[in-house]
Amino acid sequence: MAITVVGSIAFDSVKTPFGERERMLGGAAVHFALAASFFAEVRVVGPVGDDFGERELEVLRKRGVDISDIEHIERGKTFFWRGEYGWDLNSRETLETQLGVFEGFDPKLSARSRSSDVLFLANIQPQLQRRVREQLPQARFVALDSMNLWIEQQRESLMSAIASVDCLVLNDAELRQLTGRPNIVSAAREVLAWRAPSPELRGPSVVVVKQGEYGAALVTNESFFALPAYPLENVIDPTGAGDTFAGAFVGYIAAHPHEELSDELLRRAMAHATVLASFNVEEFGTERVERLTGEEIVARMQELRAITQFSGDT
């Protein structure tokens, strides 16, 4: 089944204790699409400027991503972000942000993108998320990401957007901020309690909590599930890891259209998301995921399974 993702396409300049890169390919929609493309057809919606060329588009084409809804704005500049990480790679400092063409972003979805069965609303203004959601009323599964800025400044609009989706994907700090709850379990339960009782309405039935190097958690009304991050000796750049995680998670669900949104399916999706995110952080930006193979994913899935299983007396 096809996925439409709406979000940022960017250039990132990043410095970590292990090196730096200038103007590398990035953006939430890009990281999401590359990961999701291992599981399903992906259609990307987002704006770029004159500085975004064939070299960058080819990265997406090689993974089979549909780029026909990437909007080229003449005389515009592509969204740009510069940041630096210290030894604690869970936190970063934003040094520069240039919105460029993203400042006036007005998502334009073709009939093809509107026909997708699965939709991912990446981190953009909540009112834009709501407008895009309205264009895919029959989508089978819809997930949404956000950030602290929208929680602080556009909370009412964000709450309305959240009420229209099936799955909320946030990091642990954002989830606490959104709900005012002290820990991720109670915070996730709070979000699940917002789900409308009427079957005609929606609201999250799944909450995914990203926790960086500590892994991720999945909370539904029926269960709680958590996985550690895949253990790596060398972590180079965490930029885009959360969007890569989301891409694999949503992509795996899209690849199983005939399965109910069961606990078993969600747990398998979490495992694949954990594995894809682990590849992302091994190099800068999209470098590692660009040349990733299905065989490598399978091998690391087997390693993750061995790491997280145990036996013995209760």
pTM of the model: 0.95
Answer whether residue 185 shows pLDDT above 70. Answer: yes
25 inside domain = yes
Please give the single-letter amino acid code of residue 275. Answer: V
C-alpha separations of 116 from 48, 60, 68, 111 in Å? 22, 18, 14, 9
242 inside domain = yes
Tokens 């180079």 found at: 236
Look at the chain and report how many structural domains it folds into: 1
Residue 256: CB atoms within 10 Å: 16
Distance CA 102, CA 286 (A): 20
Q: What residues does 206 pair with on adjacent strands?
A: 167
153 inside domain = yes
> How confident is the model over 188-200, as a mean pLDDT?
77
Distance CA 98, CA 299 (A): 39
314 inside domain = no
Q: What is the pLDDT of residue 89?
A: 86
List the one residue out of 7, 12, 54, 88 whose CA is nearest residue 284. Answer: 12
Q: Contact at 8 Å (CB) between 117 and 142? A: no
Distance CA 175, CA 184 (A): 7
Q: pLDDT tens digits for 118-165?
A: 999 999 999 999 999 999 999 999 999 999 999 999 999 999 999 999
177 inside domain = yes
Give the tokens for residue 88. 């604690």
228 inside domain = yes
Q: What is the pLDDT of residue 123?
A: 94
CATH number (domain holding residue 162) = 3.40.1190.20
What does the H/E/C string look like for 191-258?
HHHCCCCCCCCCCCCEEEEECHHHCEEEECCCCEEEECCCCCCCCCCCCCHHHHHHHHHHHHHHCCCC
Domain residue limits at 7: 2-308
Helix axes 54-62, 28-36, angle to 10 degrees: 30
Q: pLDDT tens digits for 260-308?
A: 999 999 999 999 999 999 999 999 999 999 999 999 999 999 999 999 9
313 inside domain = no
Q: What is the pLDDT of residue 199?
A: 53
